[in-house]
Amino acid sequence: MLARQYDFVVRRVGRLARSIAFLPLLLLSGCSVHHLSRQFLLFRPAGPLSGADLRFTLLDVAVMLGIIVPTAAVTTFFLLRYRKTNTNAAYDPTWSHSNLIELVVWAIPLLTVAMLGYYAYRGTYAVDPFHPRLLKGTRAAPVAARPPLRVDVITTDWQWLFIYPKQRIATANELVIPRGTTVDFHMTSATVVNDFFIPNLAGMIDIMPGMRTDQVLVADKLGTYKGYSANFSGGGFSWMGFKTHVVSPRRFRSWAQSVQHAPLHMDYAQFNAFAKPTKNIHGKTYEFSDVKGRLFDQVIEGVLKGKVYTTQLPPPGSA
Amino acid sequence: MVNVQGPWSPILGRLSLGAIPDNPIIAGAFIFSVVLGIVVLGYLTYADRWGYLWREWLTTVDHKKIGVMYIIIGLVMLFRGFVDALMMRTQQVLADGPHSPGFLGAAHGYLVPYHFDQVYSAHGTIMILFAATPILVGLMNVVVPLQIGARDMAFPYLNALGLWLTAVGAALIMLSLFLGDFSHAGWVGLTPLTELAYSPGVGTDYWMWAIQISSVGTTLGAANLIATIVKMRAPGMTWGRLPIFTWTALSTNIIALTSFPVLGVALGLLGLDRYFGTHFFTAGFGGNLMLYSDLFWMWGHPEVYFVILPAFGMMSEIIPTFSEKPLFGYVTMVAASFAIAGVSWSVWLHHFFTMGASPRVNTFFSVATMVVGIPTGVKVFNWAFTVYRGRSRFETPMLWAVGALFMLLVGGLTGMMLAMPPVNYSVHNSVFVVAHFHTMLMVVVYGILGAVTYWFPKVFGFRLNESLGKRFFWFFTAGTIMVFIPMYTSGFMGMTRRLDYLANPALLPFEVAEELGIGLYLVSIYYFVRQLYVSLRDRNANRVSADAWGSARTLEWVAPSPVPFYNFAVTPRVHARDELVWRREQGLEGAVPAHFEDIPMPRNTAVPLVIGALALGLGFGLVWRMWWLTDLSFVAIILTVIARSFVRDTDYVVKAAEVERIEKRLRQGAAEAARNGASASGIDVLRPRESSP
């Protein structure tokens, strides 16, 4: 048995050596500033919500750096200036109190927190996943008078199901949304807690079994963005991603019509088959037509009544 | 009782030969442990040290030795946690992009997801609960009674019991490596992932019972330390003169005493779900899985301050000593410690801003979290002003303390970012958060390593090697920078936590940098071990007198180094906040008591060790569902506690003449140390004590 494992390791080491040959290339490509900057998904918002997240991040960092940099500088200066070997520096072996300094050192953080606290309040309401104030204007007077699109999201172990109830279609591990339209996500999980996260478009929000959480977002820029679960949910978690295609409203309509002819269908029984624990290592996607309207509610009701999609016991020390 | 997957028998429970993992890495770890075990046991037998070990360590109730044992357990677990980190980093650097190779049956890297998940869960659980917590409890154990002029803790027997319960928790985690598996659901263990349906193995049970048993120990220890600080202070040690480390120990133990029971309840209810099929935290049947998050973090957040406040205390002791100046703003420092402790109770929800609470709730917890920054900021300024017009010396403890200060600045910056929900939403479960809390825990680690170096000579009578200590510090710091700056950066690339496989190949350069950082940590560990070895070898050249650093300030440095088992020959009278400075000014440093008195001391006892062994049986029985073992151990624990309560003869008296003899010998030793740097004393000067059954 050990011999077999030995052979196995030798073979794999060969494969590793071959793949390491590409390593300098990858590092080079990583060094290309343009290429690398595109990888900072949080700095490249494609919608108002993620844009607001970024603005608040920059604001927070700016304010904090305004305090931390001087503090670090002063501390370093004190440490060097008043080192024991510097005999020119003053030495005051009993000085340990000053009302003025105490007042200042309490006032500085207090004022900072007061200011950041105000922005925290503004920001929390602005990007609240259920009713973002940021999108209120667009809701009252919708962009191009388009009604919002509803998408029901169900996570399983370890796949994504996106249901478009009005279009009676669904996709798995792939999300298509029209640009400039408010997309209203209703989310639940069939099994354990996941997080809905599309770095370029929207921050994280938990998806929990037996409960519904929401996320509302608008995408401004066409393109394909990575989405994934951000909350650990078991063995297939690392492969639990989905591509988000932001397309023009016209293309969205034609895409939805084409999916309405997809050969696969989806009702609760088919969902239960789909929800068997699956590691989506190869990134497979599916399209479903004739999706039952109540599926989302049925999944929640099923979970509340005790439906579980049991994980099988793996042998110790292995998969 | 619920039905579990897999076979079960009345004698062995779920245990069978199949529980032994078939994995070359674990086999290697097993061989390493066996060889190490044989070497240690062989040495003990060969050198005939069993009796010494039993009398001096296993049955001791001496707060210093218990503290030292806590720290040893913590350091061993710190090393285990580091190996876990090394494995995680190596997995992520190997499993990067769809073309990355796979070994040992993994699609990418060398760890299958289920194994990787156990490694990171063990890393988190161990580092927080079995490395940081025991080392801090150990340091408080050693230092607090000395700082307040007490002979021991208020309840020495309880103190030993706390130690052995912590050891049992650590032992259960180590056992899980070789028998069965460990939890795969992270150190937090969010429900319903930890429910039986999604975690059917024994791993979650190991995690649950290891924490549950050791947290009983920590709670008892907290009650003990509070009682000690409130009731055992020497005459003259008023609240206004209490050394700052003792103040932080008091605030931190109030947190522990009030928060650990919440953890006990959370895990207890989860246990009911897993063993009796109740539905406290399940998704269905009326369970509420969000309740677990609340309960866990109602403990978890105070726990964060439980580990950081003593570190602040250590910095507040080290910086004045090596600045040769009193701490700036003593009263504000105390107020700030208690402010942090108080606010720690109202911030737990920031661990799950994304769980969908209303913006009103999120705003409240956001602002409450930021409020913590106020007293913390004050502390930083006060340390800076302690250095101002001082005479800073950069000996190893000072390096660690200053390092901790700068870690705190970085951690504070990123903490204020995370406290703001709109920022939090974009990095909540990303490696940015991982980097943030590691920076904060680095404050604790730096504080601990500084404190260990600082108080080491007090306990052992000689100083640790300076140049190797500095090398340890610089390599450790380089490792910290190399690991965590790329980690912060990749957080902005949208990289989330706990990934066994990274889909994005652009992350590779960052993973390589982190792996190099881990290599630097490895080098630093080499220097740490070498530092311990060289210091022990050359101990006779590094003997110190009572004040090991020449500029120490507080009461513990009045007692001789190494401290005899009774601490102070005569209970000291305290005159000032910095007692040693006061005595130095009055020319009283090294003054000898005019006459000695009898000292009543607690007797050694094996009962805590026995209860610990039975608790290990209880935990092991519960994990494997061997009900006979569980019942037997439980009944035996109760009977032992009852039997012990009938033992009246728990103290003995050290005669005045004996005290005088020991003090004389210590003074001679110190004088010799000062003269020619050689002496025969060491911690062995703590003479063997009579044992009680």
Of B375, B500, B589, the residue nearest B121 (C-alpha)? B500
Structural domain boundaries, residue A250: 136-304
> A17 lies in a domain?
no
Residue B8 within any structural domain of the chain: no
Of B344, B548, B387, give the one whose Cα is nearest residue B456.
B548
Residue A313 lies in a domain: no
Q: B235: exposed, middle or buried (C-beta count within 10 Å: 0-12, 13-18, 19+)?
A: exposed
Q: How far is B655 from chain A (nearest CA, A)?
A: 41
Cα B250 from Cα B74, distance rounded (Å): 21
Residue-level pLDDT at B675: 63
Please report which residue ranges of B550-625 form alpha helices under DSSP H: 579-585, 607-624
Spatial distance between the Cα atoms of B276 and B283, rounded to a whole number of angstroms: 16
Residue A188 sits in the same domain as residue A71: no
pLDDT values of chain A reduced to their tens digit, one per residue, 319 residues: 455 555 555 565 555 545 544 454 455 554 566 777 888 999 999 999 999 999 999 999 999 999 999 999 999 999 999 999 998 999 999 999 999 999 999 999 999 999 999 999 999 999 999 998 888 765 555 544 578 999 999 999 999 999 999 999 999 999 999 999 999 999 999 999 999 999 999 999 999 999 999 999 999 999 999 999 999 999 899 999 999 999 999 999 999 999 999 999 999 999 999 999 999 999 999 999 999 989 999 999 999 999 999 888 776 555 4
Nearest to A126 among B104, B422, B427 (CB): B422
A57 exposed, middle or buried (CB, 10 Å; 0-12, 13-18, 19+)? buried
Residues 6+ apart with CB under 8 A from B71: B134, B135, B138, B139, B142, B452
A319 found inside a domain = no
Let me know if residue B308 belongs to a domain. yes
In chain A, what is the greatest distance between 2 CA atoms, to the nearest angstrom? Answer: 86
Are residues A216 and A74 part of one domain? no
Residue A198 phi/psi, 5° resolution? -120, 95
- The total number of structural domains in chain A stands at 2
The answer to whether position A165 is within a domain reads yes
Q: Are residues A108 and A159 in the same domain?
A: no
Decide if A71 and B185 are in contact by the 8 Å CB cutoff: no
Does residue A102 sit in the same domain as residue A154? no
Residue range B421-441: average pLDDT? 95
Do the domain assignments include residue A15?
no
Three-state secondary structure string covering B529-546: HHHHHHHHHCHHHHECCC
Interface predicted TM-score (ipTM): 0.90
Total residue count of chain B as it appears in this document: 693
Query: Are A142 and A105 in a shared domain?
Result: no
DSSP for B460-506 reads HSBPPPHHHHHHHHHHHHHHHHHHHHHHHHHHHTTPBSS-SSBS-GG
Q: How far is B353 from chain A (nearest CA, A)?
A: 8
For residue B9, being part of any structural domain is answered with: no
Mean pLDDT, chain B, as a whole number?
92
> Is residue B12 assigned to a domain?
no
Q: Which amino acid is at B598?
A: D
Handedness of CA B538, B543, B547, B550 (dihedral sign): negative
For residue A5, tell me if it sits in a domain.
no
Which chain B residues touch A29 with a CB distance below 8 Å? 506
Q: Is residue B658 part of a domain?
A: yes
DSSP B198-210: T--SSHHHHHHHH
Cα separation, B178 vs B173, whole angstroms? 10
pLDDT over 60 at B278, yes or no? yes
In this complex, do A109 and B374 lie within 8 Å of one another by their Cβ atoms? yes
Residue B244 covered by a domain: yes
The answer to whether the beta carbons of residues A280 and A228 sit under 8 Å apart is no
8 Å CB contact of A238 and B193: no
Residues A160 and A295 in one domain: yes
What whole-number distance in Å separates Cα of residue B305 and Cα of residue B635? 36
Q: Name chain B contacts of A238, Cβ cutoff 8 Å.
A: 113, 499-503
Whole-angstrom Cα distance, residue B587 to residue B581? 10
pLDDT digits (tens, 9 = 90+) for B330-351: 999 999 999 999 999 999 999 9
Q: Does B374 touch chain A (CB under 8 A)?
A: yes
Q: Residue A190's domain is classified under what CATH number?
A: 2.60.40.420
pTM of this structure = 0.92
Q: How many domains is chain B partitioned into structurally?
A: 1
Å between A297 CA and nearest CA of chain B? 14
- Domain assignment present for residue B6? The answer is no
Specify whether A144 is located in the same domain as A114: no
Query: For A75, which residue in chain B has the nearest alpha carbon?
Result: B384
Q: Does A207 fall in a domain?
A: yes
CATH number at residue B221: 1.20.210.10
Please give the Cα distance from B124 to B246 (Å, whole number): 28
Instruction: Specify the 3-state DSSP secondary structure of B451.
Output: helix
CB–CB contact A230 B430 (8 Å): yes
CB spacing of A109 vs B373 below 8 angstroms = yes
Q: Are residues A156 and A187 in the same domain?
A: yes
Question: Domain containing B365: what range?
Answer: 17-692
Q: How close is the nearest chain B Cα to the Cα of A175, in Å?
A: 18
Cα–chain-centroid distance for residue B95?
32
Same domain, A204 and A278: yes
Per CB-CB distance under 8 Å, the chain A contacts of B190 are 192-193, 231
CB-based contact, A28 to chain B, within 8 Å:
no
- The answer to the question of residue B1 being in a domain is no
Same domain, A220 and A245: yes
Confidence of residue B87 (pLDDT cuts 50, 70, 90): very high
Q: Are residues A267 and A146 part of one domain?
A: yes
Scanning every residue of chain A, which has its alpha carbon at the shortest distance from the alpha carbon of B425? A203
Residues A276 and A140 in one domain: yes
| Residue B330 with chain A: CB contacts under 8 Å | 96-97
> Would you place residue B5 in the very low, low, confident or very high pLDDT band (cuts 50, 70, 90)?
confident
Chain A partners within 8 Å of B189 (Cβ): none
**A238 lies in some domain:** yes
